[in-house]
Amino acid sequence: MAIWRYAFGFATMFGVLNVTVAADDLTQKFVDSGITRRVGGYRPIESKMEEAEEIVKKLPEGIQSPKFGKLKIEDTEWAYVLEEPEEGEPRLFVDSNRDGDLTNDPATQWVGQKIGEFNQFSGSCKVELPSGDVGTVNLYRFDPNDKRREKLANSVMYYADFGYEYKFKLDGSEFSTFISGAPTDRAPLSIDRDGNGNISRRFEVAAIGKPFNFTGTTYQFVIDEQKLALKVSEEKVEQLPLPPDLSMGKKVIEFTATTMDKADIKFPSSYAGKIVMLDFWATWCGPCIAEIPNMKQAYEDWNEKGFEILGISLDNEGMDEKVREFLEERELPWAQVYQGKGWDIDLATTYDVSGIPFVLLVDGDTGEIIGTSRQLRGPGLTEYIGKQLEKRSSTEKSNE
């Protein structure tokens, strides 16, 4: 799992001409489940089980020591009851139809999983919406005996897995986006402009209520009578470029930088005759740290045969010594670039880095990208590096 950076503010509703895009240029379709995968993430909501028994009228038979809580998505609430007996499996009941009767609702899935010494439960339920649609809500609960999450000992976490798919046109070109749950001015809209299946947080996200320009005209999404609407914006902004294409076989973006050892780097030409892994990381990034053993093994196996690594630290200002101590403690010998600008380092913007670890493998002679995160994560890293070096050697011999 990568660490993602989110930087979406609350929407404002100013500066919009009274020009609404034609109705057939924005269509809405309800999606009853699976919206989390399409949106690319979720924001969990905490529900404390502190409600009174009166929130329900009828309980299933045989419940012992029930705990009562509510799920709330926008302005709609659903009561639930969690039973965690001393013997037997826990059970979760959700008042899906909001009639107070917990005996006439679809069964809630609630399954335990052993994680280390603790049990974590997760599941899903169906909920009826004011619109008449039925959507899926996913839920989970940490082991109340886990002292690391003591504040959540009496809580259930949940998030909407239902939402809406929108199709629309910008200057005649067709696009789509998804919203989890109900449309609100807090929902960032991910729009795959280049059709590669990935979303750039810098170049492919529109915030509701704020002007954006993807195609030449400045548009604005707004909430109109609790529905998403698309308008031409009075406030004009510059057209955003497409995200850089850093896929396999493409040319890497050239840059110059100075390492922490005061060495000047021209990337990738400073690595002529070698292959080099460009690694965006930070000392606070857990997934980055988890990859270090794989990187050290690959470096040990192949450095003398033409493999290098260039690290780009996304640590913040004033962390110079901490970064140096980190590198020394973990015995990381490869070059590092540190500017103390966090996510705002120029190279992170140039390479459209919105999640770390972010890695690319590059041929130092041609500048061609010969590996991305898909190939460069996990214990298979050293094997992949070996194959790329072998392939490079074979090509050189055939050209002699």
pLDDT in tens, 253-276: 999 999 999 999 999 999 999 999
Alpha helices by DSSP H, listed for 262-319, are 286-302
73-96 confidence digits (pLDDT tens): 988 999 999 999 988 899 999 999
Is 176 part of any domain?
Answer: yes
CATH number of the domain within which 331 lies: 3.40.30.10
- In 3D, which of 280, 284, 288 has the Cα closest to residue 309? 280
pLDDT for 226? 80
Number of separate domains in the chain: 3
Last residue of a domain, one of 121, 136, 160: 160
Residues 260 and 373 in one domain: yes
pLDDT in tens, 199-247: 888 899 999 999 999 999 999 999 988 889 999 999 999 999 999 999 9
Percent of the chain at pLDDT > 90 equals 79
Domain-embedded: residue 205: yes
Q: Is the pLDDT of residue 149 over 70?
A: yes
* Residue 16's pLDDT band (cuts 50, 70, 90): very low
Query: Could you give phi then psi for residue 30, rounded to 5 degrees?
Result: -75, 135
pLDDT above 80: residue 40: no
Q: What's the CA angle centered on 272, arms 269 and 278, to 5 degrees?
A: 65
Q: By percentage, how much of the chain surpasses pLDDT 70? A: 93
> What per-residue confidence (pLDDT) applies to 215?
95
Give the contacts of 61 (CB within 8 A, at least 6 positions apart): none
Q: In this structure, are 219 and 339 located in the same domain?
A: no
Q: What is the pLDDT of residue 1?
A: 44
> Domain span at residue 84?
45-160
Mean pLDDT over 64-68 rounds to 93
- Ramachandran class of 378: left when φ > 0, alpha when ψ lies in -120 to 50, beta otherwise: left
Confidence of residue 14 (pLDDT cuts 50, 70, 90): very low
Tell which of 128, 160, 192 closes a domain. Answer: 160
Assess whether 171 and 37 both reside in one domain.
yes
With 0.85 as the threshold, say if the pTM is over it. Answer: no
Q: Are 95 and 183 members of one domain?
A: no
Q: Domain check: are 137 and 218 in the same one?
A: no
Residue located via tokens 């061609």: 368
Q: What is the pLDDT of residues 166-176, one digit of tens each?
A: 999 999 999 99
**Which range among 23-37, 64-78, 291-305 shows the weakest confidence by mean pLDDT?**
23-37
Residue 199: per-residue pLDDT = 85
**93 or 196, higher pLDDT:** 93
Q: Which of 322, 320, 298, 314 is nearest to 382 (CA)?
A: 298
Q: Of 160, 186, 217, which one is at a domain's C-terminal end? A: 160
The per-residue pLDDT for 21 is 55
pLDDT of amino acid 10: 29
Quick one: 286 and 373 in the same domain?
yes
